[in-house]
A and B are shown apart, each in its own frame.
Chain A
Amino acid sequence: MSELGIASGKLSLMTHVVAGYPDPERSFELAVTMAESGSDMIEVQIPFSDPLADGPVIMKANQVALDAGMTPVKAFEMVRELRLSTGKPVFVMTYANIPYAIGLKRFFSMALEADVNGLIVPDLPFDSSLQEYFDLTAEHDMNNIYVVSPDMEPDRLRDAVVSSSGFVYTTLRVGITGADRGNISGKGLEFVRTVKRYTTLPVAAGFGISSPEQFISLEGIADIGVIGSKLIKIYDTGGTEEVGEFVKKCVSDHM
């Protein structure tokens, strides 16, 4: 945990931005605002044309970002800037075709150059045949974070959790990303507790967190709460400033 600079025993906030949404400059400003408002870590998504784990809000943001000219190279440049200017941990989330298409070695050298703290690729399961990817994460001591889902078979869940490094990313429901989908279910919270029993790594929880209250309710259960779609919705109506206010509310209310 210290490796990521996450205070132990306290709920940390990871906020999500789609690199290039609504355009390259403003997505960078948005990420900086999140960090300055108290977000402990930033998840930067490299946009993809066919984002399989994302609901309509993030899917649309991916498309807008691509239309605005965002590329993997520019996204890693943005991450590097973020690391330098905020000092906060930055995780890169994307889909398997991005590293695969631009070349795994090239992808990793860009990630190292940008000083990324870890990679999250939800459609690259731990038992896939892309061994070179896993070898590269090991070779470069790169955190490789798996996203695990409440409906996984217990054996598979354990294998995925054990294969994870940096932290483990749990989804609070069986589903795709999206905001304002109702309360966090007891089942979702129970799942986070189950995953915590399998690992000493920090455990993040996300998918559906839509209010400071929901975020705060994870205190004592998860180590990290992840907010994504909701922030895009807030940005779309209230801009960077309101995103900053929302982030401040999350972090101040539980201190």
Chain B
Amino acid sequence: MFKEDQYFGEFGGRYVPEALSSALDELDCAYRRLKDDKNFNNELECELNNYVGRPSPLYFADNLTRSSGGSKIYLKLESHNHTGAHKINNAVGQALVARELGKKVLIAETGAGQHGLATATVAARFGMGCKVFMGEVDMRRQYPNVYLMRLLGADVIPVPHGTRTLKDAINATLKYWIENIEDSHYLLGSALGPHPYPAMVRDFQSVIGREVRAQMTEREGRLPDTLVACVGGGSNALGLFHPFMDQDNIRMVGVEAGGRGDGPGEHATRIAVSQPKQGIVHGYLSYFLQDENGQLLPTHSVSAGLDYAGIGPEHAWLYKEGRTEYVSVRDDEAVKAYKILARSEGIIPALESSHAVAFALKEAPKHHDDHIMVVNISGRGDKDIFITAALTDKDNWKNFLKKEAVDE
């Protein structure tokens, strides 16, 4: 009786309480209709061009290419988007769907605050209410984004349960949605959750790969050889990879957060571990970091956006099919890559994206200069200043914060 189109092989599905079934059906139906609707797509394109600032540049990193001495490195600069990350592509798309459904309030989970910020932004843009659920731990470490979301008019609701991070924010948002289905739309921020979210979010992010395809063809007269992107839930990676799926010879590498070690709670590597473990959490079947009894494990990453115990179901399927590969990059390697990109190209990447950069720096020297690699810079690094400054310029930063606090 199961509906195959809700799955990627055995992964995905809609493992939720029945209270959500009609809202998910309604969303699925609306999205199916809109995705091929000319007016909808025209409006989406108009918003992406004029509000988000697309297309984003595909930048040839010549300094980095020269210093690493191997493959040509191109950077897809999603960091140039309004609000500073790829998250806004999906937020705009879903806001338009929500408006079509007659919803008045956008609700969202957020970890780092990037997706919450994107949601608060489109809510302001389209005149909708906005509630963002955020774990108490994340609120503390990402306060600048909390401030910005509130400035944009969003109600930021602290989540005091569980590990008080992203996974608990997802639970809280799903529960709020169950109780407020009539007027609210859950604007989920990554390619995960119950159907139709993984496919819908991937579609809205696929503008990244479509642009790369066109830009690369224009610049190099051919398609790239390797695509690299960091993978939290998996949306920026799928957005880059998906439009190239018809090209069997293109290598696609997802970079997971290796944190500070291999032990439980020290990282957020779901697939690139010795024995990835399948589970059913947050409405979908995929790989999850969990103990032997199926309880989710806490995770750690220097980048809040990768600090999540699950991975989108399409990644799980692509991995099992052998189509994509996954590697893990540690906190310190990511921070090092963050500094290298800043110094060599004048581009400050988000800590999430720095994981992808770190892999590219290791990989590029293994190839010749006829090899083309595209690295997705999913976001810009300003948002991480409270983390990176504390790591790379500790004393000055602490002094500054102290002075600011005293001057009050």
On A, residues with C-beta under 8 Å from B are 48-50, 52-53, 55-56, 59-60, 63, 66, 71-72, 95-98, 100-102, 122-131, 146-149, 151-153, 156, 159-160, 171, 174-176
What is the total number of residues of chain B having a CB less than 8 Å from a CB of chain A?
41
CB-CB under 8 A from B23, the residues of chain A are 151
CB-CB under 8 A from B181, the residues of chain A are 151, 174
B174 touching A52, Cβ below 8 Å: yes
Additional pairs, 10, CB under 8 Å, beyond known A102-B292, A123-B15, A175-B179? A48-B295, A50-B282, A53-B19, A59-B161, A97-B280, A98-B294, A125-B16, A126-B1, A129-B10, A153-B21
CB-CB under 8 A from A156, the residues of chain B are 18, 21-22, 25
A129 touching B280, Cβ below 8 Å: no
CB-CB under 8 A from A147, the residues of chain B are 17-18
A128 touching B293, Cβ below 8 Å: no
B17 touching A53, Cβ below 8 Å: yes
In the assembled complex, the Cα of A178 lies from the Cα of B53 at a distance in Å of 45
Of the candidates B16, B25, B161, which one forms a contact with A123 in the assembled complex, judged by CB atoms under 8 Å apart? Answer: B16
Of the candidates B18, B174, B277, which one forms a contact with A146 in the assembled complex, judged by CB atoms under 8 Å apart? Answer: B18
Q: Name the distance in Å between A74's Cβ and chain B's nearest Cβ.
A: 10
CB-CB under 8 A from A49, the residues of chain B are 162, 295-296
Q: Name the distance in Å between A111's Cβ and chain B's nearest Cβ.
A: 15
Chain B 78-94, CB-CB to A under 8 Å as 1, else 0, gives 00000000000000000
B179 touching A52, Cβ below 8 Å: no
Output the nearest chain B residue to A47 by Cβ-Cβ distance.
B295
- Residues 90-123 of B at the A interface (beta carbon under 8 Å): none
B21 touching A152, Cβ below 8 Å: yes
Of the candidates B25, B167, B279, B283, which one forms a contact with A101 in the assembled complex, judged by CB atoms under 8 Å apart? Answer: B279
A176 touching B3, Cβ below 8 Å: no
- Most interface-central of B7, B21, B278, B283 (chain A CB within 10 A): B21
Of the candidates B14, B178, B281, which one forms a contact with A50 in the assembled complex, judged by CB atoms under 8 Å apart? Answer: B281
Output the nearest chain B residue to A56 by Cβ-Cβ distance.
B161
CB-CB under 8 A from B283, the residues of chain A are 52, 123
In the assembled complex, the Cα of A146 lies from the Cα of B17 at a distance in Å of 10
CB-CB under 8 A from A122, the residues of chain B are 17-18
The 5 sampled A-B contact pairs (Cβ below 8 Å) are A72-B293, A95-B280, A97-B281, A101-B294, A102-B292
In the assembled complex, the Cα of A147 lies from the Cα of B181 at a distance in Å of 18
A52 touching B17, Cβ below 8 Å: yes
B171 in the interface (beta carbon within 8 A): yes
In the assembled complex, the Cα of A97 lies from the Cα of B16 at a distance in Å of 12
In the assembled complex, the Cα of A175 lies from the Cα of B181 at a distance in Å of 9
Of the candidates B13, B161, B179, B294, which one forms a contact with A63 in the assembled complex, judged by CB atoms under 8 Å apart? Answer: B161
B2 touching A60, Cβ below 8 Å: no
Chain B 137-172, CB-CB to A under 8 Å as 1, else 0, gives 000000000000000000000000110000110010
A50 touching B167, Cβ below 8 Å: yes
CB-CB under 8 A from A131, the residues of chain B are 2
B13 touching A129, Cβ below 8 Å: yes
B25 touching A153, Cβ below 8 Å: yes
Output the nearest chain A residue to B6 by Cβ-Cβ distance.
A129
Chain B 17-40, CB-CB to A under 8 Å as 1, else 0, gives 111011101000000000000000
Of the candidates A50, A63, A96, A153, which one forms a contact with B22 in the assembled complex, judged by CB atoms under 8 Å apart? Answer: A153
- Most interface-central of A55, A125, A127, A149 (chain B CB within 10 A): A125
In the assembled complex, the Cα of A96 lies from the Cα of B23 at a distance in Å of 21
Q: Name the distance in Å between A63's Cβ and chain B's nearest Cβ.
A: 7
CB-CB under 8 A from A48, the residues of chain B are 294-295
Q: Name the distance in Å between B186's Cβ and chain A's nearest Cβ.
A: 13
A97 touching B290, Cβ below 8 Å: yes
B161 touching A149, Cβ below 8 Å: no
CB-CB under 8 A from A100, the residues of chain B are 278-280, 285, 294
B175 in the interface (beta carbon within 8 A): yes
A49-B296, A126-B1, A156-B21 given; A174·B179 CB < 8 A? yes
A71-B293, A72-B293, A176-B175 given; A123·B280 CB < 8 A? yes
Of the candidates A53, A66, A124, A174, which one forms a contact with B295 in the assembled complex, judged by CB atoms under 8 Å apart? Answer: A66
